[in-house]
Amino acid sequence: MNYSSNYQDQMMAKPRPSPKHLGGRDKLKTAWEFKTSVFRDYKADTDPIRRQCFEQDWKSCKLEGLIKNGDDKAQLKTLLYKNYKGFRETYKHYSGVNPIAGLPAISVIDYSDMFFTNCPGMVDNKSLGTADTDLEFISTNAGSKGKRNPVNNLCRHNIMEVWCRIAKTKYFKSGEATSYTEAM
């Protein structure tokens, strides 16, 4: 059909009918409230909860044994706590992508996605290669056993450790850092 002055008259479409009323139920019977919703038991992050999670993760990871110098250990712990919210949010995202047997954990595939897709430039194949990241995944996961720690997957307490190991590998190898704190 060609456009002409009577084009609108020739259109076949009709406007939508107005919405139907559903037996007088125009409004919600009860307004949504957090305290009556399925989220009512959710506990928002607070500083004490975050500190408690951090301390539990610090005790569960192997960083204490990796770092011999007490000052380096204290500085790294302070630095990691300062950035703990980011570590935890990263873990929550990646562990929720593909839960393992219903448990939140980061699989090797999601771990690779975390570094190669979302951290471009991190793996430069000079100071840090694919084999290095795989080795750090395996090293971090070694010895992590438990009912809530699926085999060959990273749990929440592993996320800080794997980042520290990767930072050490990348920046110690290139000579840019001599301590974990400098590498981070």
Alpha-carbon separation of residue 81 from 49, 67, 69, 77 (angstroms)? 12, 16, 18, 6
Q: How far apart are CA 150 and CA 79, in angstroms?
A: 28
Place of tokens 């219903």: 102
Query: What are 154's strand-pairing partners?
Result: 106
**CB neighbours (10 Å) of residue 161?**
23
Which of the two residues, 109 and 151, has the higher pLDDT score?
109
Lowest mean pLDDT among 14-23, 37-46, 116-125, 126-135: 14-23
Q: Global pTM?
A: 0.72
